[in-house]
Amino acid sequence: MKFITKFYEMRQLVEELSAKRKTIGFVPTMGALHEGHLTLLRKSISDNGISIVSIFVNPTQFNNPQDLEKYPKTLNDDIQLLEKEGCDYLFYPTVEEMYPQEVKSDKWDFGPIGNVMEGKNRPGHFDGVATIVNRLFEAVPANKAYFGKKDYQQLLIIKSLVNQLELKTEIIPVDIVRESDGLAMSSRNARLTETQRKIAPNIYHTLCEAAKIAPSFGIEELKAFVKNKIESSKEMSLEYFEIADANTLEPLNFLDKNKPTMGFIVVNMNTVRLIDNIQLF
Ligand code: AMP
């Protein structure tokens, strides 16, 4: 695997590879890699001639400075995992490379999908995400880019960004990868204490129960069920559980089994913020 830190070197290389008719798959990450990231990479490797992973902890998408400061960094382990999978290039730029002028987000308008849930609770988060993904796509104008459904709202934001900018990169969604006990894999899981880690799978178990009972419940009853279940543990505090249209993220007032519907959850365990989602209909 080749290691590239310079923006223009990366861009030039992708242009050369494309000129040689290689198809390029791109997996943007913030590092501290786990099976979730590696699943995206494996999909890229099976779909494309060349696969590029980026590791960049983007300061502008963190609305909480503590979260940024405590974000796990495991570069040596990450490199070993990528080598083992057969990744072709690791793009590992500095903050100065990605933000040569000022470390600041551009302003974006994604309509309703940008204003609910993560958009509402983490002001500026999606402006930061869109700014960095746009810049990463400038460095790596890939044929396909891979994003996890774990960050479902982010996936829709990136699809919208690609449409708005008329980029040629195809966005490929990848299903959530879970630990054997159901906890959605996340770089942040490493920050859970042993006790918190034992309790954390309750998030997914609660979502599964909610999906099971949804056909016979009303929206408010279902929300109350999830809140009670989560908060029955004093280690967990529910930031939100939203039920929304799977395509528009419009919050729903009633459940309709003929409409693609998702449940979205964020739970805080002390300072660790865990996100997950499930299809309800
Ligand atoms: P991150 O490093 O957390 O920014 O994630 C990089 C990419 O990996 C994003 O597209 C995430 O949605 C995806 N990802 C992270 N965790 C998982 C997971 N457990 N399952 C599937 N995709 C994931």
Tokens linked to 174: 């990848």
Quote the ligand 1 centre to 148 CA distance (angstroms).
5
Residue of the CA atom closest to atom 22 of ligand 1: 148
Weakly modelled stretches of the chain, pLDDT under 50: none
**pTM of this structure:** 0.98
**pLDDT of amino acid 116:** 98
Tokens linked to 4: 């590239």
Name the percent of the chain lying above pLDDT 90.
99
Quote the ligand 1 centre to 269 CA distance (angstroms).
19
* 203-227 pLDDT per residue, tens: 999 999 999 999 999 999 999 999 9
| Residues 187/181, Cβ–Cβ less than 8 Å | no
Position in ligand 1 atom list of the atom nearest CA 150: 12
